[in-house]
Amino acid sequence: MRLPQEIIRDKRDGRTLADADIGDFIRGLTEERVTEGQAAAFAMAVFFRGLTLDERVALTRAMRDSGRVLAWDLPGPILDKHSTGGVGDTVSLVLAPLVAACGGFVPMISGRGLGHTGGTLDKLASIPGYDVAPGLDRFRAVVRETGCAIIGQTGDLAPADRRLYAIRDVTGTVESLDLITASILSKKLAAGLDGLVMDVKAGSGAFMAGIDEARDLGRSIVTVANAAGLPTRALLTDMDAPLASAAGNAVEVGYAVDYLTGRMREPRFHAVTLALAGEMLVLGNLAVDPHEAETRLRSALETGAAAEAFARMVAALGGPGDLLEGADRHLPRAPVTRPVVAAKTGTVEAVDTRAVGLAVIGLGGGRSRPQDDIDPRVGFTGLIRPGDRLNRGDPIGMVHAADDAAADRAEVALRSAYRIGEATPMERVAIIDRLG
């Protein structure tokens, strides 16, 4: 076994790593023989030098094999969806129960917030009693009983990724195409899936802001996943504005409840959700084509079957049994809530979506360091979109803050993230491309 620093030096100098070297390094990371500093150096070397396709596959498999790999015996396909991250990206919370209501089984292993993007796990952790880290036996039982379970990465599944994930978040290596690919797929391969659909974001709120970069990432994930034996498709979707009109943790859970119960279904969020869920149904042979898939999904929403699946999942994982009826009672609420108003009349020309995500972190809704606590109450709601017309004094959104000083700072940050003028913004479609 070679020394970790020798492996780091090889990648730093642009040499191709052997499968055995990658496996040794990841085993060392899992067993804590590789230090945090060495892992950070490796991540930075990969960030600048990149990995070949074979190296990506080897890294993904090594991270998968760092822990347990699940096997399922269920009366339906084992399916999952993963997003590369965005702001107001609440899709996972509604998609898992939606697909479950159509006959799929969705064991979704999600992450905490990474960089400026919100984490599905942090959102669910804002539900009182919800166990985001159950044991594998309970996880398996909930998937069998309710059709879906959204939990955090356990110590048993891809533990090497869990450690590297936290290091990437604070070392400026989040955007590495190679590390994103291995991180996502190691967890998905360990989950024992029959099929995976990727939501690859492009735009100002995405890690890969440019469409070409995002397309490269999507192709990388699809290629590596299929090479590793996991049938995968990807959609390239728009993140040039928050996908939902809410950004935060508890506020996004509230948004998901409103969506599932039909109280509010915003067009772009609805379109992305149906498109991703439809790909999952087709991939799992639960629908013959996207048209049939959409028909089934709309029925699951209108009959309340998807909402019921969500409620059963929440209750089975320790959350309140009446969250759908009593979200306002159960979800934590910020003590300071007030509108952020426009400083002038005009049309929203563009949104710096990354700045909106950073404003949520500034409120305490995200992390600057892995050990930081999150305030689940804070964030924004009622966020307007590019193309919306408003007068001076009209609200851009509502800020939910812990105190007046934090609300003041968030107001400035949110207002500066919106460019208001007289130009008509370029029309952007919600679904940019399909890959795989």
Instruction: Tell me the catalytic residues.
Output: 80-83, 120, 168, 183, 187-188
* Residue pointed to by tokens 């404003």: 359
Closest CA to 308 of 100, 103, 166: 100
Asked whether 257 and 323 are in contact (CB, 8 A), the reply is yes
Q: How far apart are CA 381 and CA 411, in angstroms?
A: 13
Asked whether 182 and 217 are in contact (CB, 8 A), the reply is no
- Helix 177-190, helix 159-169: angle, nearest 10: 150
Asked whether 173 and 179 are in contact (CB, 8 A), the reply is yes
Closest CA to 27 of 49, 56, 55, 1: 1
Question: Could you give the angle at the alpha carbon of 132 between the alpha carbons of 282 and 86, nearest 5°?
Answer: 60
Q: Per the structure block, which two tokens stand in for 309?
A: 């699946």
Instruction: List phi, psi (to 5°) of 10.
Output: -60, -45
Instruction: List phi, psi (to 5°) of 312.
Output: -65, -40
Asked whether 80 and 107 are in contact (CB, 8 A), the reply is yes
For 141, counting Cβ atoms within 10 Å of its Cβ (0-12 exposed, 13-18 middle, 19+ buried), the class is middle
Asked whether 272 and 199 are in contact (CB, 8 A), the reply is yes
* Residue pointed to by tokens 């600057």: 368
Closest CA to 273 of 243, 249, 250: 243
Q: Where are the beta strands (DSSP E) in 127-180?
A: 148-152
Cβ-proximal residues to 31 (8 Å cutoff; 6+ apart), any chain: none
Closest CA to 95 of 197, 221, 212, 189: 197
Q: How far apart are CA 290 and CA 181, in angstroms?
A: 26
